[in-house]
């Protein structure tokens, strides 16, 4: 028997950063994101023999342990071990024996939520195997708790919920880690046009988001006016983006993206750099009307809105940079798991 699961990566369209505490606790956060047909995968095979084997295809890393109730987490596959530890602590209260193989369609640090999506996919496999009675909100919250509380990794809240629910969602974030997911009913024709009119470009540089997010959190705690006002504008951007999508006013998305990008750059040092600025300028000069860095910033993927047929000239212009165009479509399905009987 093999248990498999997959969870979709996401593009943050607007509001990114307002889901991070303490901003969301003090002011409330709002984000608009959409999942795409790029995934994190987990394959879990129960095994006899009291062994635990983790294998990450992406990292080319495999670790093996004797079955025990708690594994060390000071290694490259700490997400795998951290999830296992929480599953045993909260649900089974006894060691498990299995092999877990994972891979992700985007590299870590890409800005598409790959780490949190991987956590969600692994949790989905355990839920399928152990028949855990967890709903979508439960799984997303558990994924968040494992990353932020158990493993003490810095970050926001949107990725776990996007990966679990799937589709286009307007999300609200409040104090005490309260999250409300509002699915948007967007026609397939509108999503097809949005995918055709956008370009997703990998800059060739992954980044560690933790340092940037640490600076954002510090700005809020110290009530630094410029940075906090920028975050208010970013939250406003999510509302504007939601209305434009629901009204099918797609050509207004470019200016809304640019409005958000100009404010996001004010939130912390390191969100942009000369290389990112030159990519952004080249895309705008080629016909894009707005764009952003996906995720916390500093590298990873960039995303541009290209009205009409300007995507072709934008793609040509980006060819001068050491990066890669990523073709994608939006997907409406979130975390999925299934069992294969051999």
Q: Catalytic site residues?
A: 159
Q: Which residues contact 289 (CB under 8 A, 6 or more apart)?
A: 251, 254, 255, 257, 258, 305, 306, 307
Transcribe 132-179 into DSSP letters: ----HHHHHHHHHHIIIIIS-----SHHHHHHHH-SEEEEEEEGGGEE
Question: Bridge-partner residues for 122, per DSSP?
Answer: none
Pair type for strands 51-56 and 98-104: parallel
DSSP 334: -
**Cα–Cα distance measured from residue 81 to residue 67, given in angstroms and rounded to the nearest whole number:** 12
Report the candidate in 119, 170, 13 with the shortest Cα–Cα distance to residue 335.
Answer: 119
Do residues 219 and 228 touch, judged by C-beta distance below 8 A?
A: yes
Alpha helices by DSSP H, 71-157: 78-87, 114-130, 136-145
Q: Which residues contact 178 (CB under 8 A, 6 or more apart)?
A: none
């Amino acid at each position: 028997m093999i248990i498999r699961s997959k969870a979709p990566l996401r593009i943050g369209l607007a509001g990114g950063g307002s889901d991070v505490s303490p901003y969301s606790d003090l002011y409330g956060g709002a984000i608009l994101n959409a999942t795409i047909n790029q995934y994190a995968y987990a394959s879990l095979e129960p095994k006899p023999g009291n062994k635990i084997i983790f294998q990450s295809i992406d990292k080319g890393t495999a670790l093996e342990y004797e079955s025990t109730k708690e594994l060390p987490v000071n290694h490259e596959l700490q997400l795998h071990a951290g999830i296992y530890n929480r599953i045993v602590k909260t649900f089974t209260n006894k060691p498990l024996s299995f092999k877990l193989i994972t891979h992700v369609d985007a590299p870590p640090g890409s800005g598409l939520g790959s780490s949190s999506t991987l956590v969600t996919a692994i949790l989905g496999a355990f839920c399928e195997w152990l028949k855990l009675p967890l709903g979508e909100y439960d799984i997303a919250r558990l994924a968040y708790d494992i990353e932020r509380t158990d493993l003490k990794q810095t970050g926001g809240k949107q990725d776990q919920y996007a990966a679990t629910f799937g589709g286009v969602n307007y999300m609200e974030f409040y104090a005490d880690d309260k999250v409300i997911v509002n699915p948007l009913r967007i026609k397939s024709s509108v999503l097809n046009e949005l995918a055709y009119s956008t370009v997703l470009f990998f800059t060739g540089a992954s980044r560690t988001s933790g340092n940037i997010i640490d600076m954002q959190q510090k700005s809020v705690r110290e009530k630094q006016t410029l940075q906090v006002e920028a975050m208010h504008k970013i939250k406003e951007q999510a509302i504007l983006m939601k209305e434009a999508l629901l009204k099918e006013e797609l050509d207004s998305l470019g200016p809304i993206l640019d409005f958000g990008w100009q404010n996001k750059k004010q939130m912390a040092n390191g969100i942009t750099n000369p290389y990112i600025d030159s990519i952004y300028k080249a895309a705008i000069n080629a016909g894009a009307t707005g764009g952003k860095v996906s995720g916390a910033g500093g590298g990873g993927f960039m995303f541009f809105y290209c009205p009409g047929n300007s995507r072709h000239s934008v793609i040509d212009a980006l060819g001068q940079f050491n990066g890669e165009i990523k073709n994608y479509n939006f997907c409406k399905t979130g975390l999925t798991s299934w069992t294969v009987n051999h």
